[in-house]
Amino acid sequence: MAGEMENREGGMVQKLDQKLPVANEYLLLSGGVREGVVDLDLDELNVYARGTDYDMDFTLLVPALKLHDRNQPVTLDMRHSALCHSWLSLRLFDEGTISKWKDCCTIVDHINGATNYFFSPTKVADWFYDSISIVLSEIQKKPQRGMPKVEKVEKNGTIISIILGVGSSRMLYDIVPVVSFKGWPAVAQSWLMENHFWDGKITEEEVISGFYLVPACSYKGKKDNEWRLSFARSEVQLKKCISSSLMQAYQACKAIIIKLLSRPKAISPYHLRSMMLWACDRLPANYLAQEDYAAHFLLGLIDDLQHCLVNKMCPNYFIPQCNMLEHLSEETVMLHARKLSSVRSDPAEHLRTAIEHVKAANRLTLELQRRGSTTSIPSPQSDGGDPNQPDDRLAKKLQQLVTENPGKSISVFINPDDVTRPHFRIDDKFF
């Protein structure tokens, strides 16, 4: 049972050295990091293929620090960083917090004798990987009936990727250590003053309920100190306001470009997501609401992508003064622009190819599941029935939970002293 395993894992990691918040709130997103659900750098990630390596994928944001108290002093130090990035100083935190996290900080001594501790994304990721590895090792020593089988644990830069075998399905979790905040950062305050496509559809309070720092640095940033601002929780809310035909076009465009523009790395699925949000702001609502315009929207996204590439300009949706493509070389821009021109000249053929890849991956998944169901034998914990059937239902239930609630805030609550409590919350409803 994958959700129960997350509960158990989180609780055991917290108990190792009491670093994680005791009652923590995780954000579960449908789709792995490679799908662009969070703005993270993909260069350091190993390539996993749906069908070959996994069947379902998720991203789990795990707060290492949870700064939800209005009285908690927060020092985002953006003096050393590019826009949309920051260092996080623990200087104003209490001694207990500094002592607990000192080994995950870089230390800067000032001329006046003061010492500043900067929360380090790379050191936090190293600690988190080591802790998860210890916990998974302990779980595997004492396997429990119904628990998923750990097939792979891998550190990809600052991300930990785990593939769990749940019956005959394989579930990929990209686990990301983050810093969680309530409220809204000052650097993105001006964005709230503008008119947006979601005005009147959802409340401002829903959009600005919180943000994260994720472990990623700018093109010329210092990896050991620099975090990236992420608005993943807000993006979940904004998806509620995007028409199904535009989402269909976005998924189709992503399927076409994800491999085509993967080398050299220039455009990520997150860039495409940002362009889609800008398109929602720019285009008339009645046009975007057309149910049979998916093909028009697909061509429009390809054109927007080409325009952004040629001009080396893709503003972050929440912090528009941050250009996410300014670091690209002219050579890379022209290479990808030519590839996109080829797509634009015959988009249907490229889409058919992308669909065939998806179908092939699905066939491979079904074949592996068929083999698994015909060759598997009851495990020592099994009562002699089919051990795959209930686990498959649970895996599908988790997938269903996420996919049937588009745009809803899905959280996982972890309490290490009571893992029996419901651990999924969709908006305000527990499951």
Mean pLDDT of 341-360: 79
Cis peptide before 284 (omega within 30 of 0): no
Ordered structural domains, the chain, with CATH: 13-240 (3.30.460), 242-370 (1.10.1410.40)
Backbone φ and ψ for 145, nearest 5 degrees, come out as: -60, 135
Q: Residue 369's pLDDT is what?
A: 61
> Would you tell me the crossing angle of helices 388-403 and 2-17 to the nearest 10 degrees?
80
- Taking the C-alpha atoms of residue 250 and residue 248, their distance in angstroms, rounded to an integer, is 5
Two tokens, residue 426: 């969709």
The model's pTM:
0.81
* CA-angle at 76, arms to 212 and 277, nearest 5°: 40
**CA-based nearest residue to 299, from 261, 333, 256:** 256
CB 21 within 8 A of CB 414: no
Q: Residue 116 — pLDDT band, cuts 50, 70, 90? A: confident
CB 50 within 8 A of CB 57: yes
Asked whether residue 30 carries a pLDDT value surpassing 80, the answer given is yes
| DSSP sequence for 150-181 | EEEEEEETTEEEEEEEETTEEEEEEEEEEEEE
What burial letters (b/e) apply to 304-339, b meaning 16+ CB within 10 Å? bbbebbeebebbbbbbeebbbbeebeeebbebbeeb
Residue 412's SS3 state is: strand
Q: Residue 279 — pLDDT band, cuts 50, 70, 90? A: very high
Asked whether residue 154 carries a pLDDT value surpassing 90, the answer given is yes
Q: Residue 47 — pLDDT band, cuts 50, 70, 90? A: confident
Q: Residue 111's pLDDT is what?
A: 65
- Paired with 67 in beta bridges are 181
Bin 169: left if φ > 0, else alpha if -120 < ψ < 50, else beta.
Answer: beta
| Largest distance between two CA atoms of the chain | 71
> Would you tell me the crossing angle of helices 244-260 and 347-375 to the nearest 10 degrees?
90
Mean pLDDT of 4-23: 64
Q: Residue 228's pLDDT is what?
A: 97
Close Cβ partners of 19 (under 8 Å, ≥ 6 residues apart)? 64, 100, 101, 104, 127, 131
Asked whether residue 134 carries a pLDDT value surpassing 50, the answer given is yes
Element (H, E) at 347: helix 347-375
Mean pLDDT of 313-322: 95
Range of lowest pLDDT (350-354, 359-363, 375-379): 375-379
- In order of 159, 403, 412, 424, the CA distances from 398 in angstroms are 22, 9, 12, 10
Q: Where are the alpha helices (DSSP H) in 202-284?
A: 204-207, 232-238, 244-260, 269-282
Q: Which residue has the tokens 């990987």?
A: 129
Q: Residues 189-213: pLDDT tens digits?
A: 999 999 999 999 999 999 998 999 9
Q: Residue 400's pLDDT is what?
A: 56
pLDDT mean across residues, the chain:
80
Q: Residues 73-108: pLDDT tens digits?
A: 566 888 888 899 999 998 888 888 889 999 999 998
Two tokens, residue 62: 């795990």
* Count of alpha carbons within 13 angstroms of residue 208, beta-carbon side: 16
Q: Residue 95's pLDDT is what?
A: 87
